[in-house]
Structure 1
């Protein structure tokens, strides 16, 4: 399984006129039963969401206020990711008859055509705030706070990589979090620009579109879309006709073979650098210390100290870290045994969270002798 999380917008995606239909709720329950997690990513304030949607317990995490607030239904724990704008800002908006005006834990929200007054107040006070639009809604948030930032914070706490997430949405404030996800999906009623940028557009609208996506996700893990999603492809080089040679970032196996000194490790390093640039997680088995100065990974072990299976797994529990397993401290005859001990643990981890995305075995004859 590659996709372990579905991250969904609420209004216009899951919900129609603020309500989620029973068929959509049943599909969400099926997705949970498949072993996947659910994250709701919404511009709504938490209290408002809880009022209109009683099934929040279906979700592992709620990203509310357009990314400014995390809420964990199982524990009722909340975490703010930003500070509310100063009261002086809110007072100016009220004095200038901005209506409607909603003030959440962090977000300050209104509707078109009040954006002109809102932006003017921000300028007058010299505040570092941003205005985000969601169809007719006008949302004011601290700089850097959006749905992508909120989703990333939730995923970090769940220890899941965005590369193992499918996102679905419909409006302009969904662009950021959809772009973060490995697979971005627009429901059929989405704005044209959202559909244009999405990896996949459902045939159905709103909740029915989410049901369609969930059924496809459970049935095939979206395997049929893998060849169509090209924005994550890793560039290897070009052919004589200057056409690009790319590899898929997951589900791909590569064999680098050649004579000693022929550049195998150099090529592998170049590929790994590009994988690291795209934030895919890797674990390198390094028998000869060729990667001990590799900046993109945490080196475990050296010529004087053996690495342990536990410390490798501890490093990889964080989806933002890569491991370089230096085997110089392990006697040559014991290296296949260490490899045989660690590899099943990595495979188990993959079955649980979908990573490390790449397992690199350098000088394979050290670890898998004929």
Structure 2
């Protein structure tokens, strides 16, 4: 059992943590070890910032469980920055109508794939039918789903943080290989999960969101530690003073980081906090 009299590493003042495959175990739950380490870091005055591809609806229950009041959340891979005391929006980025038209033209109702527009309060789904990947994702992230057409969605005039292509892994592999070069002409792309391939506003990513927050808080990169496991974490790895990959990350992702911790099944977040912050 670790002592309650842990000394703080004064260098680290903010810890940014990815969710799926990092903070959460494979059952999408928080381990007691991770919760305790985060509690101790917050007691020591360290900002704990969830930095995820999830929308607000998929973050709220976990932020509440971690008691992350009066801190910050970076959602939708950098498209939204929230203050957790009242979930007010401090910064946002959205896809232009031209970018949406570009994405929809490439989508072209591809069989087996849905195109999902992530907005702040709900997800709007294009496609011939609702495929299993979209339904699973909505269940995981507590998202409201509306099956619609592009024309009907445009009439709503709602900002879109990310347009996400979703389907089974093999279908997405083929679609990404075919579409990435064309999509990248007008949007930023990232394969955040095996079933999700995202189109974001140009220049938007987790690293950009973290950089903007650090500037607002007057923190240098050297005062920030980040933890993650996926391709959508690479930019924040490159930005932070200390970057930590989970043992379950790919070798490509690990190559971008300073350290490797335990897997998400083995409370790797807690281990990294104790080793590098407390």
TM over 0.5: yes
> Does 1:183 find its partner at 2:249?
no
**Corresponding residue SS for 2:74:** strand
> Could you say which structure has the greater relative contact order, defined with CA pairs below 8 angstroms and 6 or more residues apart?
2
Question: Residue 204 and residue 16 in structure 1: after superposition, are their counterparts in 2 closer, same or farther (change >3 A)?
Answer: closer
> Does 1:110 find its partner at 2:178?
no
Q: Which among 56, 63, 66 is matched to residue 74 of structure 2?
A: 63
Q: How does 1:149-168 map to 2 (within 5 A)?
A: 149-168=208-227
Q: Which residue of 2 aligns with 1:134?
A: 192
Q: Which residue of 1 aligns with 2:147?
A: none
Deviations 1:104-135 (A, max 9, x none): 131111234346657649848x9611211124
Shift of residue 84, structure 1, vs aligned partner: 2.3
Q: Which residue of 1 aligns with 2:92?
A: 81
> Does 1:14 find its partner at 2:23?
yes
Mean alpha-carbon deviation: is it higher for 112-121 or for 44-53? 112-121
Q: Which among 200, 208, 223 is matched to residue 267 of structure 2?
A: 208
Q: Which residue of 1 aligns with 2:52?
A: 42
Distance 1:115 1:81 in 2: 29
Equivalent pair of 1:122/1:129 in contact (CA under 8 Å) = no
Q: Which among 186, 197, 204 is matched to residue 256 of structure 2?
A: 197
Shift of residue 22, structure 1, vs aligned partner: 2.7
Distance 2:109 2:30 in 1: 37
CA RMSD of aligned residues (A): 2.7
Mean alpha-carbon deviation: is it higher for 200-209 or for 152-161? 200-209
Distance 1:131 1:98 in 2: 20
**Corresponding residue SS for 1:197:** coil
Shift of residue 191, structure 1, vs aligned partner: 1.2
Distance 1:171 1:121 in 2: 18
Shift of residue 56, structure 1, vs aligned partner: 6.1
**Corresponding residue SS for 1:96:** coil
**Corresponding residue SS for 1:176:** helix
> Any stretches of 5+ residues in structure 2 without a counterpart?
1-9, 120-160
TM-score by length of 1: 0.53
> Any stretches of 5+ residues in structure 1 without a counterpart?
220-370
> Does 1:24 find its partner at 2:34?
yes
Distance 1:56 1:203 in 2: 20
Question: Residue 158 and residue 206 in structure 1: after superposition, are their counterparts in 2 closer, same or farther (change >3 A)?
Answer: farther
- Number of aligned residues: 218
**Corresponding residue SS for 2:30:** coil
